[in-house]
Amino acid sequence: MPQKYNYVIGLIGNPNVGKSTLFNSLTGASQQVGNWPGKTVEKKEGVISWQDQIIKLVDLPGTYSLTAFTKEESVVEDFIRLEKPEAIIQIIDAQNLTRNLFLTLQLLELKIQLILAVNMLDLANKDGIEIDIAKLSESLGVPVLEINARRKKEIPIFLRNVILAFKTEQVGGKKAAVSKILAEHILDAEYIHQRYEFIKGLEKEVVKRNFNRSSKKFDRYIDSIVMNKYFGIPFFLIAIWLVFQATFKLSAPLTIWIQLFFSTLAVWATNFFSGLGVSNWFISLFTEGIIGGVGGVLVFLPSIGILFFLISVLEDTGYMARVAYIMDRFMHKLGLHGKAFIPLILGFGCNVPGIMATRTLQTRQERLLTILISPFISCSARLPVYVLFVGIFFAKYQGLVIASLYLLSVTVAILVGLVFKKIFSNGLSAELLIELPPYRYPTVRGLLLHIWEKIGAFIKKAGTIILAFSIIIWLLASLPIGVNYGSKESFAGSIGQLIAPLFTPLGFNNWQTGVALTFGLVAKEVVVSTYGTLNGVTDVSAGNAAGVLSVVLQQYFTPLSAYAFLVFVLLYSPCVATIAVIRKETVSNKWALFVVANTVFVAYIMALFIYQGGKLIGLN
Amino acid sequence: MKYIEIIIVAGLFLWALYFIIKYLQGLFKKNCDNPCAGCSYSKQCNKKYE
Domains in chain A and their CATH numbers? 7-209 (3.40.50.300), 232-616 (no CATH)
Q: What is the pLDDT of residue A70?
A: 61
Residues of B in contact with A467 (CB under 8 A): 16
Instruction: Name the closest residue on chain B to residue A478, using Cα atoms.
Output: B9
- Helix and strand tally (H, E) in chain B? 1, 1
Distance between B1 CA and the closest CA of chain A, angstroms: 7
Question: A576-586 vs B2-28: helix axis angle to the nearest 10?
Answer: 30
A487 near A493, Cβ under 8 Å? yes
A155 near A26, Cβ under 8 Å? yes
Residues of A in contact with B15 (CB under 8 A): 468, 471
Instruction: Name the closest residue on chain B to residue A31, using Cα atoms.
Output: B41
SS3 A187: coil
Q: Supply the DSSP symbol for A293.
A: I
Task: State the Cα angle at A219 between A213 and A224, rounded to 5°.
Answer: 130
Domain ranges of chain B: 2-44
CA A502 vs CA A101, A511, A554, A611: distances in Å: 60, 11, 20, 14
CA R_g for chain B? 18
Name the phi and psi angles at A456, rounded to 5: -60, -45
Mean pLDDT along residues A600-613: 97
Contact between chains at B5 and A278 (C-beta distance less than 8 A): yes
Confidence of residue A67 (pLDDT cuts 50, 70, 90): low
Q: What is the pLDDT of residue A432?
A: 57
Interface test with A, best of B4, B39, B42 (most A CBs within 10 A): B39
Chain A to chain B, count of Cβ pairs less than 8 Å apart?
A: 95
State the Cα–Cα distance between residues A360 and A371, nearest whole angstrom.
12
Confidence of residue A548 (pLDDT cuts 50, 70, 90): confident
Q: What is the pLDDT of residue A142?
A: 87
CA R_g for chain A? 27
**Per-range mean pLDDT, top range of A156-160, A210-214, A332-336, A531-535:** A531-535
Selection from A373, A342, A343 nearest residue A355 by Cα: A343
State the Cα–Cα distance between residues A74 and A66, nearest whole angstrom.
8
CA A534 vs CA A39, A131, A476, A522, A557: distances in Å: 40, 65, 10, 17, 16
Confidence of residue A561 (pLDDT cuts 50, 70, 90): very high
Selection from A290, A271, A96 nearest residue A199 by Cα: A96
A20 near A33, Cβ under 8 Å? yes
Answer left, alpha or beta for residue A386, where phi above 0 means left and psi between -120 and 50 means alpha.
alpha
Residue A539 pLDDT greater than 50, yes or no: no
Q: What is the pLDDT of residue A14?
A: 85
Answer left, alpha or beta for residue A580, where phi above 0 means left and psi between -120 and 50 means alpha.
alpha
Percentage of chain A surpassing pLDDT 70?
Answer: 85
Selection from A1, A35, A4, A7 nearest residue A19 by Cα: A35
Distance between B3 CA and the closest CA of chain A, angstroms: 11
Contact between chains at B36 and A285 (C-beta distance less than 8 A): no
The residue length of chain A stands at 620
CA A334 vs CA A228, A331, A447: distances in Å: 18, 5, 34
- CB nearest A46 (choices: B12, B16, B45): B45
Instruction: Write the pLDDT tens digit of every residue in A391-435.
Output: 899 988 988 999 999 999 999 998 998 888 888 765 545 555 666
Going by C-beta distance under 8 Å and a sequence separation of 6 or more, which residues neighbour residue A588?
Answer: none
Out of A58-62, A517-521, A562-566, least confident range: A58-62
Q: Which residues pair with A145 in a beta bridge?
A: A117
Looking at per-residue pLDDT, the higher value among A35 and A102 belongs to A102
Answer left, alpha or beta for residue A141, where phi above 0 means left and psi between -120 and 50 means alpha.
left
A287 near A536, Cβ under 8 Å? yes
State the Cα–Cα distance between residues A372 and A601, nearest whole angstrom.
13
Instruction: Name the closest residue on chain A to residue B36, using Cα atoms.
Output: A44
Distance between A537 CA and the closest CA of chain B, angstroms: 21
Percentage of chain A surpassing pLDDT 90?
Answer: 29
State the Cα–Cα distance between residues A240 and A220, nearest whole angstrom.
22
Which residue type occupies A582? I
Instruction: Write the pLDDT tens digit of every residue in B6-49.
Output: 999 999 999 999 999 999 888 887 544 444 344 333 333 455 55
Cis amide linkage into residue A438, ω under 30° from 0: no
State the Cα–Cα distance between residues A588 and A597, nearest whole angstrom.
15
Out of A192-196, A333-337, A367-371, A401-405, least confident range: A333-337
Selection from A13, A8, A12 nearest residue A82 by Cα: A8
State the Cα–Cα distance between residues A73 and A363, nearest whole angstrom.
13
Residue A493 pLDDT greater than 90, yes or no: yes
CA A338 vs CA A203, A324, A325, A342, A366: distances in Å: 32, 8, 8, 8, 10
Q: What is the pLDDT of residue A168?
A: 66
Going by C-beta distance under 8 Å and a sequence separation of 6 or more, which residues neighbour residue A83?
Answer: A8, A10, A58
Distance between A50 CA and the closest CA of chain B, angstroms: 5
A57 near A47, Cβ under 8 Å? yes
Question: A467-478 vs B2-28: helix axis angle to the nearest 10?
Answer: 130
- CB nearest A465 (choices: B1, B23, B45): B23
- CB nearest B2 (choices: A159, A279, A471): A279
Q: Which residues pair with A114 in a beta bridge?
A: A88
Instruction: Sheet containing A53-59: give its strands across.
Output: A144-147, A114-119, A87-93, A7-13, A53-59, A44-50, B46-49
| Strands A87-93 vs A207-209: parallel, antiparallel or unpaired | unpaired
Confidence of residue A498 (pLDDT cuts 50, 70, 90): very high
